[in-house]
Chain A
Amino acid sequence: MRPFAFLLVALLVLVTAAGCTSRSFAGSSGWSGIAVGSDVVYVGARTGRVLALDARTGSQRAAFPPEGQDPLKGLYGTPALVDGVLYVPGYDGRVYALNAADLSLRWQYPIDISTVKSIVGGVAVADNLVVFGSSDGYVRALNTSSGLREWEFKTDGVVWSTPTISGGVVYVGSLGKKLYALSLANGVPLWAQPFEAGGAIISSPLVAGSRVIFGSFDRQVYALDAGTGRQVWSFRGGSWFWHSPVTDAQRVFVATTKGVLHALTLSSGQEIWQFNLQAPVISSPVLMEDRRLAVTSDGGIVYLISTENGGQVSTYNIGAQVQAPLTTDGQTVYINAMNERAWAIRLVGRQEKLWCINTKDKQIC
């Protein structure tokens, strides 16, 4: 082959590779979890629309933005449903407050998105405030009625972590390796200084009693004293901890991006058992009402695990990568898979698929 021809082939391959992994948003994307209402569930679809689906059948009741309007840029954070209002964090940097009944828009913040950056984490709602972190490094609190900003706090890095509100305190981590405790009322830091981990923090903090527990990219799970921010214990895993820990009041369950699920004692962080999912875990697990743990991974298999001994109770293969957090009403687990399909699978009692819908073409799958 002549060198010039070879070079052209090389360039072609390069361009092809660039095209295959294009960074531009040709379409929408995301991994939003599913918010569960009494008879409706809300999916942040990868098509860039929030869908209200019948919890029993999966049929669509409403969409935001409505069909015919441009979709949102992407949806990563799980919507929060509080008092008939659905708060949706958009990857375009806006927070949308929608009427849960018909997904009509109540307000959006801000009006001008040129002033903000993308939101990857979810929102937390309490005391008439909706709190969220942004890629511009700010944690902001909006009035739930008006959508106006009540306060904002600049962290030391990008915030992709979903804030956790407990006892009038907002706990939130940043990619700048720090965990902050802020006053819900005014955003003032409450600890003498933020806790500094060895790696980035995307994990949403779990507040269990007087402990704040979260994972970090430095392969550690930390438990801090909620009042002072001092470290109580830590546990080292084999890879990043991305998702939010889950607790049954005795144990903490947390998995790594190498796919190893650890059960740790809440009091001391000692490992009780581990279970290997064989694929990266980005999706947060959920505790079912029978106190078993539902967890899934990039491998597309949903595992039901005994919290007592880590034994595998059952599996359900949905055949697609899952990175959105799992949600549950106690008996049924709701899954927003990366192949644009939303699932409702009953895991308590008789295991069965309730429905599966393609969020793109709305066909039953």
Chain B
Amino acid sequence: MEIISLLWNEIILNPMQNGLVLLYAFTGQNFGITIIIFTIVVRLITLPLTLKQVRSTKKMSELQPRMAALQRRYGKDRARLSQETMRLYKEAGVNPLGCLGPMVIQLPIWIGLYISITSLLPLRPEDLAKLAGHLYGWLPIVNEVIPLDSRFLWLDLAVPDPSPILAIMVGLSMWVLQKMSTPAAGDPRQQSTNRMLLWMLPVMFAFFTISLPSGLPLYWMISNIIGIVIQYFVTGLTGLWPLFPKQPATAPAVVGVGEAVQTDDQPPASEESAHEEQAGTRGDQRQNGRRGDRSRAQRARRRTRGSHNRGR
């Protein structure tokens, strides 16, 4: 257990705390600005993973009709279904767990940032005393700027925002991000689940915002906004409209401060028609052309596979 604690301190907590204090020292000694810059740095570092994840989500979405077909064909044989699904992923070059990367990275960052905020912006002397062991002695400036000023705009970053403003901003930014990055879902059950997730996660994070030191929700909000920008450049604004569809045609694919999560959408009744729909509604002509080519190739492969099966 001690070795885990040592690793946590040396690899995550100490670099994070010293980095935050260093940023604070060089950014006008404003901890709000420090958190914003820290968020941008974290997002830049994880950008390759995030882009991979968003693209993977997009690919997975395109595979939904074929997955539905597999479901129909092998629904009762789970082993075979699993085998065929994995083969499908392999053919398409998709890693179904690839989207977990950015989330796995986010978790220690959240916990580390929470601990850092409680130490760097101490409410109790014990919190400040704990910090002493984490600051680098060879970096004089990090020792000299302690304790940090916790005021930023209307917020005291050391305590929860007493007004609902930050909670609303966190919830809203998360909702927009999810809405934008949601792939199409055809199955009514999945639609229902997606609709619930679209609201539940922003509400949950807004609820956390009410009870956590506002430095952490500030990180979430900025991270969401960056996620929205990334999503805009990859998929555009198509997922955002309509804002409140009567029959929701979208399902959340992005959860938790901008990290996309693939959902197991079900296709429309006919996979061909699904492809036609996608080709007809998504992206520019060039994308449609590529997708159409791919669809034709996929259909040809399936026909060949189907005739093999019938032959048996």
A residues engaging B (CB < 8 A)? 1, 3-4, 6-7, 10-11, 13-15, 17-18, 21, 23, 29, 31, 74, 76, 120, 158, 160, 175, 198-200, 217-219, 238-240, 242, 257-258, 280, 282, 323
Contacts and interface: CB of A to CB of B under 8 A. Distances in A.
Contact of B255 (A4, A21, A217): A4
Contacts of A257: 129, 132-133
A365 B224 CA distance: 53
B179 to A, nearest CB: 17
Contacts of B256: 7, 10-11
Given A10-B256, A219-B143, A160 B125 contact: yes
Decide if the interface of chain A is mainly helix, strand, loop or mixed. loop
From B114, B115, B129, B197, residue with most partner A Cβ within 10 Å: B129
A74 B127 CA distance: 14
Given A3-B261, A7-B261, A257-B132, A17 B111 contact: yes
A127 B132 CA distance: 37
Interface string B232-265: 0000000000000000000000011000011100
B2 interface: no
Contacts, number: 97
Contacts of B204: 11
B103 interface: yes
Decide if the interface of chain B is mainly helix, strand, loop or mixed. helix
Q: Which 6 A-B pairs have the closest CB atoms?
A: A3-B261, A257-B132, A199-B144, A10-B107, A17-B111, A218-B144
A4 B208 contact: no
B107 A13 contact: yes
B106 interface: yes
Contacts of A240: 132, 143
Given A17-B114, A21-B115, A10 B106 contact: yes
B18 interface: no
A3 B100 contact: yes
Given A7-B261, A13-B111, A23 B123 contact: yes
Contacts of A14: 107, 110-111, 114, 208
B143 A7 contact: no
A320 to B, nearest CB: 14
A200 B110 contact: no
B99 interface: yes
Interface string B134-164: 0101001001101100000000001100000
A3 B137 contact: no
B248 to A, nearest CB: 17
A106 B201 CA distance: 54
From A120, A199, A200, A217, residue with most partner B Cβ within 10 Å: A217
A323 B127 CA distance: 12
Contacts of A280: 129, 132-133
A217 B146 contact: yes
Contacts of B118: 21, 23
Contact of B125 (A7, A76, A198): A76
B122 to A, nearest CB: 9
Given A3-B261, A18-B212, A175-B147, A31 B125 contact: yes
B126 interface: yes
A158 B149 CA distance: 11
B213 interface: yes
Nearest to B121: A23
B124 interface: yes
B137 to A, nearest CB: 5
A6 B145 CA distance: 38
27 contacts: A3-B261, A3-B262, A4-B261, A6-B100, A10-B106, A11-B208, A11-B256, A15-B208, A17-B114, A18-B114, A18-B212, A21-B114, A23-B118, A29-B126, A74-B124, A120-B125, A198-B144, A200-B147, A217-B146, A218-B140, A218-B144, A219-B137, A219-B140, A239-B137, A240-B143, A242-B132, A258-B133
A253 B143 CA distance: 21
Contacts of A198: 144
Contacts of A158: 147
